[in-house]
Structure 1
Amino acid sequence: MKALYFENFGDNSVLQYGMLPDPRLKTDEVLVKMKYIGLNFADIYRRRGDYHIESHSPYINGYEGLGKIVKLGQKTTDLHLGDKVFFVDAPFSNAELVAVSASKIIKVPNYIEEKTIASIGLQGLTADFLVHDLAKNKKNAQVFIQGISGGVGQILLQMLVADGIKVYGVTSTQKKQNLALQQGATEVYLRSSNWENKANGQFDTVFDGVGKTLNQSISLLKHRGKVIFFGMAGGDPDKVDMIKLLENSKSIMTGDLWDYLTSQKERQVRFSRLANYFSNGKITINDPKIFPLSEGKKAYALLESGQSNGKILMRCD
């Protein structure tokens, strides 16, 4: 098979494209012939050596993609050759063929475009988990999203609006501000403006995947409000004064998506709920930027540049 791989950690220059041996299939796995491969910031951290990556010689990055089953392990059930499937946490996905545990397979519907499904998987399941497992906001609650125009932020915003929640947020440019308003936000601040005095103490929930903004997020809460903390895309948070949290009955909730994706059935139910938002027109996203796998270096470079405004996919022809 052809794959995008690297032998040493480093910058984009370490990536190579070429032929590698096909995966060896275990009895509880299926072999997926890939069509679209999702690219995430975690893949950049893995390439740099800053993040856990599964042992393989040479290294093959990636955990997310869409394709069809071309071979079944002997102990797999309820899956068939030719099934169109998706996964978000199977290693070595920067390749034409990927061995995926049957428990991690999500069957995908025909009523949503394949490239859309490939674009919403990890970010969409993350948003769904944050909204329905952690936040559990009631209708007309006021919530705030740090990085409202990011990959998770855009889906999170539209999902909350569809559920009857009033959404506010902050972003870096006027273009991103306008996009968030078009997607249903009530008010969106520019991070460069003096917005905090107006917003402090106003929100039932603040979603924070930025990290370094955690103490700011706590200040934005009403008494008895909660921060949903789910990542550190902008850097590690400063220490939190737990006494101040206690005095204002504020709380921080966090969780790991993988603790909720506990079975193939659980994944299927959650993805079906997510897909309904898209099929009903309640969530839309920008078309992904698609590169051939052979041009994977360009895909990584675009994501690392911060200039992309939607999902980046690599395509296997």
Structure 2
Amino acid sequence: MKALYFEHFGASEVLQYGELPQPEIGENDVLVKVEYIGLNFADIYRRRGDYHIEKHTPYINGYEGAGVIEAIGANVTNQQVGETVLFVDVPFANAEYVAVPSEQAIRLPAGINSKLAASIGLQGMTADFLAHDLGKNTPGEKAFITGISGGVGQVLSQMLVADGIEVYGSASSTEKQALALSHGVKQVFPSRENSWVETVEGQFSTAYDGVGSTIQQSLDLIKHRGKVVFFGMAGGDPVKIDPVALMSESKSILTGDLWDYLTSYEERKIRSERLFSYFAKGQIEISEPTIFPLSEGKQAHEFLETGKSIGKVLLKP
């Protein structure tokens, strides 16, 4: 099979494309012929050596994709050959074929194709647990999202709007600001300057921060007894936070790892069905993903790293 791989950590130049052995499946696995692969910032961290990556010689990056089941293991009962499935937490995804544990294969309902599933899988499941397990906003509350037109931001903002939350955010360009406003967001501020921060300090019940370097700004934006939901470092590492200062204003920082919420087949089924229902009801729309052939993985990594993307970047075998 063809795969995107690398032999040592580094910049995008380490990526290679070529022939590798097709994976063998175990009795509890399904073999998926991949149609679309999700490219995420975590993949960049893994390529650099800054983030855990599953051992393999050579390294094969990627944990998210969607495709058609070509074979099933002897003990598999939840899936059948020919079904289209999504996976969001399975290693070695940057390849034509992936061996997926049965309990981690999410069946796609009618109306959700593999391209859409790969576009919303990881970010959508992330948005779901951020909103429903950490944020837990009630209708009428005000929430702020940094990087509101990114992959998670697009889904999260519309999910919160659908749940009755008043949503605000920041974005780096007028195009990205306009995109968020078209999704029902009340106001979007320019993220490349912060003169506006003082005008809205202390107004939000929750700030969702996936940028990292803006965490102090997010703390300034929330009111007393408010919370920052911290979920990523797309813009760099966060500054150190003094817990005593948080205590003096009854502010909290909540964080979590999606993998701690996707612990069984049933968890994946319940959460994915809730996510897909927003799309089925027309409550969430996303911008068209940017698609690169898997053979152009180097260019795709560079495109994502330079912040040019609006929404999802996909690789297509």
Q: Deviations over 1:208-253 (max 9, x none)?
A: 1111211221111111111111112212222222222212221111
The alpha-carbon deviation at position 296 of structure 1 amounts to 2.1
2:262 aligns with 261
Q: In 1, distance between residues paired with 2:217 and 2:294?
A: 40
Q: In 2, distance between residues paired with 1:289 and 1:36?
A: 11
1:281 aligns with 282
Q: In 2, distance between residues paired with 1:69 and 1:98?
A: 10
1:293 aligns with 294
1:199 aligns with 200
**Which amino acid in 1 is paired with 2:37?**
I
1:123-162 counterparts in 2 under 5 A? 123-162=123-162
The alpha-carbon deviation at position 301 of structure 1 amounts to 2.2
1:207-286 counterparts in 2 under 5 A? 207-286=208-287
2:92 aligns with 92
Q: In 2, distance between residues paired with 1:237 and 1:290?
A: 30
Q: In 1, distance between residues paired with 2:171 and 2:310?
A: 13
Identity over aligned pairs, percent: 60
Q: In 2, distance between residues paired with 1:104 and 1:123?
A: 16
Asked if 1 retains the 8 angstrom alpha-carbon contact of 2:85 and 2:114, the reply is no
The alpha-carbon deviation at position 193 of structure 1 amounts to 4.8
The alpha-carbon deviation at position 114 of structure 1 amounts to 2.4
Q: In 1, distance between residues paired with 2:302 and 2:249?
A: 44
Which shows bigger deviation, 279-288 or 187-196? 187-196
Asked if 1 retains the 8 angstrom alpha-carbon contact of 2:154 and 2:311, the reply is no
CA RMSD of aligned residues (A): 1.3
2:65 aligns with 65
Q: In 2, distance between residues paired with 1:252 and 1:169?
A: 18
The alpha-carbon deviation at position 18 of structure 1 amounts to 1.3
Q: SS of the residue aligned with 2:17? A: strand
The alpha-carbon deviation at position 310 of structure 1 amounts to 2.1
Q: Deviations over 1:55-79 (max 9, x none)?
A: 1111111110001111111222221
2:76 aligns with 76
Q: In 1, distance between residues paired with 2:298 and 2:213?
A: 29
**Which amino acid in 1 is paired with 2:107?**
K
Q: SS of the residue aligned with 2:297? A: helix
**Which amino acid in 2 is paired with 1:116?**
L
Q: In 1, distance between residues paired with 2:78 and 2:180?
A: 41
Q: In 1, distance between residues paired with 2:237 and 2:296?
A: 32
Does 2:27 align with 1:3? no
**Which amino acid in 2 is paired with 1:220?**
L
Q: In 1, distance between residues paired with 2:78 and 2:276?
A: 21
Q: SS of the residue aligned with 1:137? A: coil
Q: Deviations over 1:84-126 (max 9, x none)?
A: 1110011111111101111111001121232111100000000
* TM-score normalised by length of structure 1: 0.96
Q: Deviations over 1:283-314 (max 9, x none)?
A: 11111111222222222222122111121111
**Which amino acid in 1 is paired with 2:115?**
K
1:179 aligns with 179
Q: Deviations over 1:28-72 (max 9, x none)?
A: 211111111111111111112221111111111111000111111
Which shows bigger deviation, 138-147 or 12-21? 12-21
Q: SS of the residue aligned with 2:126? A: helix
Q: In 2, distance between residues paired with 1:112 and 1:81?
A: 18
Q: In 1, distance between residues paired with 2:305 and 2:213?
A: 19
Q: Deviations over 1:186-221 (max 9, x none)?
A: 111113251111110101111111112112211111
Structure 1: segments with no counterpart, 5+ residues = none
**Which amino acid in 2 is paired with 1:67?**
G
**Which amino acid in 2 is paired with 1:103?**
E
Q: In 1, distance between residues paired with 2:44 and 2:120?
A: 19
Q: In 2, distance between residues paired with 1:232 and 1:14?
A: 23
1:311 aligns with 312
**Which amino acid in 1 is paired with 2:265?**
Q
Q: In 1, distance between residues paired with 2:26 and 2:4?
A: 22
Structure 2: segments with no counterpart, 5+ residues = none
1:170 aligns with 170
